[in-house]
Amino acid sequence: MRRTVPPPQVSARTRRRRAAAARSAARRSSRRRRRSSALRASFFAIAPPGSITSVVVRSVVRHSAYADSVTLMRVQQEVRRQAGVEEAGLVLATEANKALLQQAGLLTPEASTAGPDDLVIAVRAVSEEAAARALAEAQTLLSRPRASAGGDAYRPRTLAAARGLLPQATVAAVSVPGRFAAGVAREALREGLHVFLFSDNVPLEEEVALKREAAERGLLVMGPDCGTALLGGVGLGFANRVRRGPVGIVAAAGTGLQEVASLVHRWGSGVSQAIGTGGRDVSGAVGGATTVRALGLLADDPATRVIVLVSKPPDPTVAERVLAAARGTGKPVVAVFVGADVADSGTVSGARTLAGAARRAVLLAEGAGAREAARAGEAVEAAALPGPLTHEAAQLAPGQRFVRGLYSGGTLCAEAQVVLRSYLGRVRSNAPLDPADALPGTGPAVEHTLLDLGADEFTQGRLHPLLDPTLRLQRLAAEAADPAVAVLLLDVVLGDAVEPDPAARLAPAVAQARAQARRHGRTLCVLGSVCGTDLDPQDAEAQTAALREAGMHVLEAAALAAHAAGRILRERGARGGPPAVPRLAVPARAVPPPDPGPLRALLEGPPAVVNVGLGLFAESLARQGAQVIDLDWRPPAGGRQRWLDLLERLEA
């Protein structure tokens, strides 16, 4: 029989010491487990300023996880709608994004130590249970596989595999984070694909190298930061649906291209091709590489009778090269360099606004003479104020003297500044034509202010206003509440891949702002335009009707809305004058653009596209009936910079 030995007697002090040691060991073990886990979670309670009840902040860090920015923002919006959730954030843990989490009260200790390739999911909720439910919902939504644009479950992981599935592919549409974009674009070129490069934050030297390699291979790089193109009747990026016709467009400005294309359609003509170049293409470093080759391509295109050239003011040397090439096309070219004037010379004429350029192009395509087309372009902008707007403006209170513009399109914001400076003098902006007029950061508007809400400072941690109008609606309410504001200027941009029904949220906000002004004894003039067509999924006519019913005065073009705002405020004593803008001369000697050679194949029919990045672009292409393969892209080497550097050295 086995004898049981009683345990030795242990003092209370010894028991307490052993218990403390055990708890310490457990904590160390727990820390080790957390460090080794690929998924970490934490929570703590904070009391925001002015709050009495504590709230719970919990975060999850997923290491080396990737989801595109639109997916993250859509999931974030879903999580914010969960019961008990006050705020949510889903971001890659870059320093800039961690600063945004800090500002929102969502930065936990674990999130603060996450690396730029880690995905942080953070929520602030009224209880632990609500926070846990929200985190679980976020992870469920992120774990759902994205179906291919054609509805198939399978999505290839490499460009080579995508070419195998779609051997007729001609274009790669690239919208991955900027630090990976050049590598993806280079791989696409080596697969024999033209590149539509939507991504921004691509180093300038990479852009130069990519465009040089594309030229050597007989291919074209549109971008980086190229928002729009229309090839063979198919829209890439944010594009409007327009009829085919004789007007070709080359544009270093995304919403500028959209505005011209939409107006050409609205005024009865159509677009043959519209080639985006990226805004930096006309810089001195890039030298107009894509612009000049695109001019050569449209010069060679039998379907293109007139070319519209759209840009912000180019580098002077580049402007000379581009205008010489424009003259060398042998076709009528209308140049609109928003913020600069182009003197008419030979087959090249200059327009000050996008609407003026579109009107000239339509008449030239119909066979009108240059003088007749020029007069028509100028007449567009000289139209009188609509009667209802004149009546409403007469009811403004004495203290109402300022205009505030809230734009989703950067080119439309720049154009409005050009127009309004002639009426008002100084116009402030976060994207000013004159650096002296810069509005710092995202701060409050002062006096006459036009904001480009699609600029980087407004889109950090947010969707672009073309996709999510939340920020614009907030600013609209704030500006409408200012008793010194007389006029609000807005743009509404339609098309594939943008918000499906902008008026559904904007119209009630406009009606509410006007009603609030009336309650305070004021009249508020809300002016704007709809950049879109009757063929767009949103239907420009339906959007216009809804906005007008809410009390918004919808003019035919963005420039006309800006002119109307200027005339209203001029009647109230505002004084401006012709702004000092560069005047660019067309070189007397034409320099034919390079022969397009193998580029001709790009315009032979609708493009077949390999989409690399944002799924909404693949969905848009599929809705248009285009052939598209949606790549299941992931950052190489897990996105870890040390491994990426090693891979680059090995490839070199």
pLDDT digits (tens, 9 = 90+) for 26-78: 444 443 333 333 333 333 333 344 443 578 999 999 988 888 888 888 899 89
What is the value of pTM for the model shown? Answer: 0.87
Res 574: pLDDT: 78
For position 640, what pLDDT does the model report?
57
Q: Is the pLDDT of residue 267 over 60?
A: yes
CA distances to 11, 27, 82, 130 from 22, in Å: 17, 9, 40, 32
Residue 223 has pLDDT above 70, yes or no: yes
pLDDT value at residue 28 = 41
At residue 569, does pLDDT exceed 50? Answer: yes
* pLDDT, the chain, mean: 88
Tokens of 141: 């939504």
pLDDT of residue 456: 82
Angle between helices 354-365 and 410-424 (to 10 degrees): 110
First vs last C-alpha separation in the chain: 78
Residue 163 CA from chain centroid, whole number: 28
Give a three-class secondary structure readout of 157-177.
Answer: CCHHHHHHHCCCCCEEEECCC
CA angle 587, 593, 599 (to 5 degrees): 160
Query: 276 vs 31, which has greater pLDDT?
Result: 276
Look at residue 207 in the predicted model and tell me its pLDDT.
98
Query: What domains lie within the chain, and their CATH numbers?
Result: 35-143 (3.30.1360), 148-225+604-652 (3.40.50.720), 387-578 (3.40.50.261)
Which of 390-419 are b and which e, b meaning 16 or more Cβ less than 10 Å from the residue's Cβ? eebbeebeeebbbbbbbbbbbbbbbbbbbb
Taking only the tens place, the pLDDT of each residue in 65-124 is 888 888 888 899 899 999 999 999 998 888 878 888 998 899 999 999 998 888 999 999
Q: How far apart are CA 618 and CA 633, in angstroms?
A: 13
581 — pLDDT class (breaks 50, 70, 90): confident
Q: What is the pLDDT of residue 620?
A: 96
pLDDT of residue 648: 55
Mean pLDDT on 307-319? 96
Count Cβ neighbours within 10 Å for each residue of 192-221 and write b for 16 or more, e otherwise. Answer: ebbbbbbbbebeeebbbebbeebbeeebbb
What DSSP designation does 310 have? E
| Interstrand relation of 609-612 and 583-584 (parallel, antiparallel or unpaired) | unpaired
